[in-house]
Structure 1
Amino acid sequence: MKRMVVCWFILLMLLCAGSPPVFAHASLLATIPQDGQVVQSSPGEIALEFSEPLEEGLIDLKLYDEHGRSIALTGPHLTAGNAARMRAEPPKLPDGTYTAVWSVVSEDGHPVNGSFTFSVGRSASGTIAPVSDGTSALLDRILAVIRYVVEGTLLIAAGLHWISWLGRRRGWPADMRATGGRRLAVWIVIVVGLIAEGLLYLASLPGNALTSVFAKGQWALLGQSPFLVMVGAQLVCMLLAAVPGMVEGWYLVMWALAVGALAFGGHAWGIQPVWLAASFRILHLFGLALWLGALTGLVLAMRRARKSGDAIEWGALRRFFVRLALLASATALLSGAALTVQQTDWAVLWKGQTWSVLLGLKLALTGVMLALAISQTLRWRKHGRLTSPALLRWEWRAGALALLAGVWMSQSAYPLPVTSYAKTFPAADAQVVVKIPRVAPGTQIMTIEFPAPMTEPRQVQVQVSKPDAEINRQPIPAERTGTGRYQADIPFSMYGTWTYRIDAAFHDGTHAAFTDTLFIPGGGETR
């Protein structure tokens, strides 16, 4: 067991030393002024447009001159009617080069930051970068470490609770059923870790969120982040799991709810339908918890048997345990494959992004676990007992590393699938065809075809809206590119469900309208 503790410690040190800050799920689409632009006069506003809605009160924008000195701004604030656009008003700026440093929180609760430069009148050749103390990056690393500890402990502890319950029902050996030791210490680690997660997350957010909540009493900010809601739900489950004197099913359910809550802290909100994405994640988490819990239970049982000198009655355990481990591993693998296919596609997986590399690492470690499990199962069947505790510990270590890769993946932007859109509308004379080659956040090209014998319209306009974000764009004129063929640049400024309306005006004074909705996937790579 001491080696396991050393293994966990080494993994944490690696995470502290090598993990990058949390990756963003909100992409910066455009800025005013543009990055690198030279404007002739001081701009009236500095604006940034993102691929997702931002959270009011959790945005920040700082401006520095070419000497690294801070310049006071009025704002920032979100643009009325467009929660994906942040703006601030600078004072009158003299000629020179300026650096705007921004930080925001996207709709799914993930913080992101960046910067861009612009010049007024002239471009300075020797600008000085704003001074950064590295506090934000350090908080991100500490938060990643705590998340790994809390989520790993939670999954293993939940799996152990379920294994212990199954063991009592199946008449397993006492060493295998006695997995409830040090429950208080485990509970304290999880509860203290969850509180630390919430505080560190607030401290890492823009807009002085920690001060806003506790000093100014703006408690509504806690409900604006799915991550904080997830942490709060897990805390409630842990507190309820500590209530004494309840029936055994109560505690099993509380641990299950705490594990299931992990599915709602990130990527699931950028995928349609959300319920299916969350279902795959819940199954994946349950499979991992059972798998790691079973491994940990075996390790602890062998450790107790070695200390006591008593032999484990393997015969009452092997057949059902092997089936349970097979079910848990199959659930983890199949649900993992399903959620990967749902949120991206195989064509863009292996392009070197962090998320793809981590996926490959997780698959390799899972393969190692399966190979070790098969080897031990065959030996178990042949000799009637587990003959290699070392192999079992290595399987556990591979599981711990795979869990580390999974936590890192949950903080990394995944590659968006390359999908297209096509819709055919029936019309009086023919069928109107609408196509979008790439369905993703940003400005996309919409092609509208009015094939013969349909009368060609004299004017075509497209209006897009996103009612849940209160976004209603002005009508966009479509440009004629050929006989009966029109194109328009459509700004899908965030992920989610959009509605578009095509209005065609004909020479005889008649009009035709075509309407549809489409879903823009989110959570893709940062731009």
Structure 2
Amino acid sequence: MRRIVLCWIILLMLIGTGSPPAFAHAGLLATTPRDGQVVQTSPGEITLEFSEPLEEGLIDLKLYDGNGRPIALAGPILAAGDASRMRAEPPKLPDGTYTVVWSVVSEDGHPVNGSFSFSVGRSASGTIAPVSDGTSALIDRTLAVIRYVVEGTLLLGAGLHWLSWLGRRRGWPEGVREIGRGRRAVWFVLVAGLIAEGLLYLAALPGNGLASVFQKGQWTILGQSPFLGMVGAQLALMLLAAVPGMVEGWYLVMWALAVGALAFGGHAWGIQPVWLAASFRILHLFALALWLGALTYLLLAMRWERKAGAAIEWGPFRRFFVRLALLASATALLSGAAMTVQQTDWAVLWTKGQTWSVLLGLKVTLTAVMLVLAITQTLRWRKHGRLTSPALLRWEWGAGALALLAGVWMSQSAYPLPVTSYTKTFPAGDAQVVVQIPRVAPGTQIMTIEFPAPMTEPRQVLVQVSKPDAAVNRQPIPAERTGTGRYQADIPFSMYGTWTYRIDAAFHNGTHAEFTDTLFIPGGGETR
């Protein structure tokens, strides 16, 4: 058991000395002024456009001059009618180079930050780095470490609970069934970790969310973040799991629900349909909990056998654990593949420089190592009638812990969005109007509209897009004629989600034709 604890300590040291994961769930699409732009006069407004709606009150924007000194701003605020746009008004700026540092919380509750620079009156000589906030960096890093501890402990704890219950039903030796004595310590670690997770998350929010909640009484912040909702639900479930005197099924259900809640704290909210994305993640989490729980159970059983000096009848274990490992590994592989296929595609998966793709490759490799070690263990078990190599079992457990670490990091990293196109054909008399969008992604995209013969060519084509659930309703955009019967318009899809467009074609004889459809803009991944 000491070796297992040592493995976790080493993993946490590696995490703590590295950079904290980037929460890239809301991507910056455009800024005014643009990054590196030289403007001749002081801008009256600084605007930032994101790929997702932002949370009101959880946004921050700072402006620094060429010497790193802060400049007071009016704002920031969200643009009226478009929660994905943030704006602030600077004072009149003298010639020089300026750096904008922004921090926001996206609709799925993840904090995101970044910076860009621009110049007034003369060319920028380079980005000016503002004074760094060491406290903020420490909070982010500590939060990342605690998240890994909580999620890893939750999966292992749930797996051991389920295995202990199965052991009692199957009449396994009493000494082996009593390995759950450490469950109380696991429970305390989880409760303390969840509380710390929530407090650190609030402290890391733009505008100091911790002070906003406890000093200013802005309790609505707690209900705005899906991440906080997940943490709150898991904390409540852990408290319910501590209620004494309940039937055994009560505790099993509480742990199962706590594991399932993890599926709603990551990329699932940016993938359509959400219920299917969450289902794949729940299956994946349950499979990992069973697999790692079974390995831990065997390690603890071997430790009990060594300390007690009593031999365990391994025969009843072998068939059950082989089947369990086969079921858990197959479910983990299939659900993992389904998650990957649903949120991206193989064409962009291995794009050079993709952190998410590298982590996926690492997770697949470690899973393959686990399978090889499991097969080796099973063959030896079958030959000798007992487990003969605790070292191999510990290596398999270590590979599983690293695979879990890679998976948690993936859930907090930007994944490569699938490169898809959109084509819609509308019947119009004896012809068909064709609407195409080569790239379906957040940002300004090109829409082409073709009115083929024998249709009369329209004198004007207007395109209007809206996103009712985010109260976004753009003004009609005139499409430019680029050829006979061919028109083109730049459509600003400023966030992910379901958008509606309406094309109004006005003809010379005074008639109009309208064409309407909806399309889903994927989100949660990397925006380019």
Shorter-normalised TM range: over 0.9
Partner of 1:60: 60
Report deviation, 1:85: 0.5
Whether 1:240 and 2:237 are equivalent positions in the alignment is no
Aligned residues: 527
TM alignment of 1:514-525, pairs within 5 A = 514-525=515-526
TM alignment of 1:390-405, pairs within 5 A = 390-405=391-406
Whether 1:95 and 2:76 are equivalent positions in the alignment is no
Partner of 1:388: 389
Q: Residues 370, 127 of structure 1: CA spacing in aligned structure 2 closer, same or farther, 3 A cutoff? A: closer
Report deviation, 1:136: 2.5
Report deviation, 1:384: 1.2
Unaligned regions of 5+ residues in structure 1, if any?
Answer: none
Matches of 1:249 and 1:203 in 2, distance apart?
37
Matches of 1:342 and 1:481 in 2, distance apart?
36
Q: Is the Cα contact below 8 Å between 1:496 and 1:522 reproduced in 2?
A: yes
Bigger shift: residues 163-172 or 78-87: 163-172
Report deviation, 1:134: 2.9
Summarize deviations over 1:234-264 as a string: whole Å, max 9, x none.
0000000000001111100000000000000
Whether 1:434 and 2:430 are equivalent positions in the alignment is no
Matches of 1:325 and 1:465 in 2, distance apart?
49
| TM-score where L is the length of structure 2 | 0.98
When the two chains are superposed, the root-mean-square deviation of aligned CA atoms in Å is 1.3
Q: Residues 59, 339 of structure 1: CA spacing in aligned structure 2 closer, same or farther, 3 A cutoff? A: same
Q: Give the partner amino acid of 2:28.
A: L
Q: Is the Cα contact below 8 Å between 1:109 and 1:266 reproduced in 2?
A: no
Partner of 2:212: 212
Report deviation, 1:23: 2.7
Percent identity at matched positions?
Answer: 86
TM alignment of 1:36-185, pairs within 5 A = 36-123=36-123, 125=125, 128-185=128-185
Matches of 2:414 and 2:491 in 1, distance apart?
24
Report deviation, 1:497: 0.6
Report deviation, 1:343: 0.4
Q: Is the Cα contact below 8 Å between 1:477 and 1:488 reproduced in 2?
A: yes
Q: Secondary structure at the match of 1:181?
A: helix
Q: Is the Cα contact below 8 Å between 1:163 and 1:177 reproduced in 2?
A: no
Q: Secondary structure at the match of 1:331?
A: helix
Bigger shift: residues 384-393 or 116-125: 116-125
Summarize deviations over 1:412-447 as a string: whole Å, max 9, x none.
010101111111111122111111111111111111
Report deviation, 1:127: 6.9
Q: Residues 175, 331 of structure 1: CA spacing in aligned structure 2 closer, same or farther, 3 A cutoff? A: farther
Whether 1:421 and 2:422 are equivalent positions in the alignment is yes
Bigger shift: residues 420-429 or 265-274: 420-429
Matches of 2:34 and 2:326 in 1, distance apart?
55
Partner of 2:370: 369
Q: Is the Cα contact below 8 Å between 1:173 and 1:316 reproduced in 2?
A: no
Bigger shift: residues 148-157 or 424-433: 424-433
Whether 1:489 and 2:490 are equivalent positions in the alignment is yes
Q: Residues 126, 15 of structure 1: CA spacing in aligned structure 2 closer, same or farther, 3 A cutoff? A: closer
Report deviation, 1:126: 7.3
Bigger shift: residues 169-178 or 411-420: 169-178
Matches of 2:133 and 2:453 in 1, distance apart?
65
Partner of 1:286: 286
| TM-score where L is the length of structure 1 | 0.98
Q: Secondary structure at the match of 1:180?
A: helix
Report deviation, 1:32: 1.4
Partner of 1:9: 9
Matches of 1:225 and 1:127 in 2, distance apart?
33
Matches of 1:409 and 1:29 in 2, distance apart?
22
Bigger shift: residues 197-206 or 153-162: 197-206
Q: Residues 370, 118 of structure 1: CA spacing in aligned structure 2 closer, same or farther, 3 A cutoff? A: same
Q: Is the Cα contact below 8 Å between 1:175 and 1:312 reproduced in 2?
A: no
Moved over 6 A (4+): none
Q: Secondary structure at the match of 1:400?
A: helix
Report deviation, 1:128: 4.4
Q: Is the Cα contact below 8 Å between 2:280 and 2:338 reproduced in 1?
A: yes
Q: Give the partner amino acid of 1:221.
A: I
Whether 1:25 and 2:25 are equivalent positions in the alignment is yes
Summarize deviations over 1:161-182 as a string: whole Å, max 9, x none.
1111111112233344333212
Q: Give the partner amino acid of 1:49.
A: E
Matches of 1:250 and 1:78 in 2, distance apart?
45
Matches of 1:246 and 1:160 in 2, distance apart?
19
